[in-house]
Structure 1
Amino acid sequence: MAVTTHSQSPTEPWTAPLARGPLRGDVSLPGSKSLTNRELVLAALADGPSTIRLPLHSRDSALMVEALRQLGVGVDEVAPGLGETPNPYGPDLRITPAAMHGDVRVDCGLAGTVMRFLPPLAALAVGPVTIDGDPYARRRPMHAIIQALVDLGVDVTDDGGGAMPFSFTGTGSVRGGSLAIDASASSQFVSGLLLSAPRFDEGLHLTHVGDRLPSMPHIEMTVAALRARGVRVDEPAVGEWVVHPGPIAARDVTIEPDLSNAAPFAAAALVAGGTVRIRTWPTATTQVGADLETLLPRWGATVTRDGADLVFDGGVGVRGGASLPGLALDLSRGGELAPALVALAALADGPSEIDGIGHLRGHETDRLAALAADLNGTGGSVHERAEGLRIEPAALHGGAWAAYDDHRMATAGAIVGLVVDGVAVDDIGSTAKTLPQFPELWAALVATGDAVA
Structure 2
Amino acid sequence: MRDHGAVSAPAPAVWAAPTLAESGTGPIDATVTIPGSKSLTNRVLVLAAQADGPTDLEGVLRSRDSDLMVAGLRALGCGFEELPGGLLRVTPGPLHGPAHIDCGLAGTVMRFLPPLAATAPGAVTMDGDPAARVRPMGTVLQALRDLGVRVDGDGLPFTVHGVQAPAGGTVRIDASASSQFVSGLLLSGARFAGGLTVVHTGKPVPSMPHIEMTVQVLRAVGVQVDDSGANTWRVEPGPVVRWTDPIEPDLSNATPFLAAAAITGGTVRIPRWPTTTTQPGDAVRDLLTDMGAQVLLRDGVLQVTGTGTLDPLDADLHDIGELTPTVAALCLFASGTSRLRGIAHLRGHETDRLAALVADIRAVGGDADETEDGLVIRPRPLTGGEWGAYADHRMATAGAIVGLRVPGVVVDDIASTSKTLPGFEGMWARMLGAAADVGTGASS
TM-score, length-scaled by structure 1:
0.92
Deviations 1:43-97 (A, max 9, x none): 10111111110110000000000001111111111112xxxxxxxxxx3211111
Q: Deviations over 1:258-301 (max 9, x none)?
A: 00001100111111111100011111111111111111011111
Does residue 1:438 correspond to 2:443, yes or no? no
**Residue 334 (structure 2) aligned to one of 324, 335, 348:** 348
Counterpart of 1:84? none
Give, in whole Å, the separation in 1 of the partners of 2:115 and 2:121: 13
Task: Identify which of 390, 401, 409 aligns with 1:423.
Answer: 409
Query: Partners of 1:140 and 1:313 in 2: how far apart?
Result: 37
Do the aligned partners of residues 229 and 8 (structure 1) sit closer, same or farther apart at CA in structure 2, a change above 3 Å counting?
closer
Runs of 4+ in 1 over 4 A off after TM superposition: 7-10
The answer to whether 1:404 aligns with 2:397 is no
Moved more, 188-197 or 124-133: 124-133
Determine whether 1:332 maps to 2:332: no
- Separation in structure 2 between the aligned mates of residue 266 and residue 9 of structure 1, nearest angstrom: 26
Change (3 A) 1:8 1:72: closer
- Aligned partner (choices 143, 146, 153) of residue 148 of structure 2: 153
Q: Indicate yes or no: 2:201 matched with 1:206.
A: no
Q: Which amino acid aligns with 2:18?
A: P
Matches within 5 A, 1:59-208: 59-80=64-85, 91-158=86-153, 162-208=154-200
Which residue matches 1:302? 294
- Looking at structure 2, the residues matched to 267 and 258 of structure 1 have their Cα atoms a distance apart, in angstroms, of 15
Q: What are the superposed Cα offsets for residues 347-404 of structure 1, whole Å, 9 maximum, x if unpaired?
A: 1121111011111111110000000000011111110111100111221111111101
Q: Tell me which amino acid in the other structure corresponds to 2:60.
A: P
Answer whether contact 1:226 1:233 (CA < 8 A) is retained.
yes
Structure 1 stretch 125-134 or stretch 28-37: which is displaced more?
125-134
Secondary structure class of the residue paired with 1:205: strand
SS in 2 for 1:261: helix
Give me the whole-angstrom Cα distance separating, in 1, the residues matched to 2:45 and 2:218: 12
In structure 1, the gaps of 5 or more residues are 1-6, 81-90
For 2:266 and 2:255, the matched residues in 1 are separated by: 16
Q: Deviations over 1:7-36 (max 9, x none)?
A: 975544201110123110110000000000
Within the alignment, does 1:267 sit opposite 2:262 as a pair? no
Give CA deviations for 1:183-227 in whole Å, capped at 9, x if unaligned. 000000000000000110000111000112000000000000000
In the alignment, what sits opposite 2:17?
16
The answer for the alignment partner of 2:234 in structure 1 is: 242
1:9-48 equivalences in 2 (<5 Å): 10-20=11-21, 21-48=26-53
Shift in Å at residue 443 of structure 1? 0.6
Deviates more, 1:7-16 or 1:411-420: 7-16
| Matching residue's letter, 1:405 | A
Separation in structure 1 between the aligned mates of residue 420 and residue 243 of structure 2, nearest angstrom: 24
Q: Contact conserved, 1:49 with 1:251, CA < 8 A, in 2? A: no
Aligned equivalent of 2:212: 220
Structure 2 unmatched runs, 5+: 1-7, 436-444
Answering whether residue 393 of structure 2 is matched by residue 388 of structure 1, we say no
Partner residue, 1:86: none
Distance 1:355 1:388 in 2: 5
Aligned to 1:83: none
Counterpart residue type for residue 132 of structure 2:
A
SS at match of 1:238: coil
Q: Distance in 1 between matches of 2:433 and 2:230?
A: 47
Residues 117 and 160, structure 2, Cα contact 8 Å, conserved in 1: no
**What corresponds to 1:290 in structure 2?**
282
Alpha-carbon offset, residue 169 of structure 1: 1.6
Classify 1:96/1:369 alpha carbon distance in 2 versus 1 (closer, same or farther; 3 Å): same
CA distance in 2, matches of 1:144, 1:77: 36
Percent identity, please.
56
Contact 1:32/1:258 (CA < 8 Å) preserved in 2?
A: yes
Letter matched to residue 42 of structure 1: L
Q: Distance in 1 between matches of 2:293 and 2:10?
A: 37
The CA deviation at 1:135 is: 0.5
Q: Which residue of 2 aligns with 1:373?
A: 359
- Contact in 2 for aligned 1:51/1:253 (Cα 8 Å): no
* SS of equivalent residue, structure 1 residue 29: coil
Secondary structure of 1:237's counterpart equals coil
Secondary structure of the structure 1 residue equivalent to 2:398 = helix
Q: Matches of residues 307-326 of structure 1 in structure 2 within 5 Å?
A: 307-315=299-307, 317=308, 322=309, 324-326=310-312
- Given that residues 169 and 194 in structure 2 are in contact (C-alpha distance below 8 angstroms), is that contact kept between their aligned partners in structure 1? yes
Cα distance in structure 2, aligned partners of 1:37 and 1:99: 19
Alpha-carbon distance in 2 for matches of 1:366, 1:226: 31
Cα displacement string for residues 127-177 of structure 1 (whole angstroms, at most 9, x for unaligned residues): 11111100010000001111011011111111xxx3211112212221110
- CA, structure 1 residues 68+10, in 2 after alignment: closer, same or farther (shift >3 Å)? closer
Is the contact between residue 9 and residue 104 of structure 2 (CA under 8 Å) also seen in structure 1? no
| 2:57 maps to 1:52 | yes
Q: TM-score scaled to structure 2, two decimals? A: 0.93
1:362 alignment partner in structure 2 = 348
Two-structure CA RMSD over aligned residues (Å): 1.3
> 1:304 corresponds to which letter in structure 2?
L
SS of the residue 1:262 aligns to: helix
Equivalent position SS for 2:70 = helix
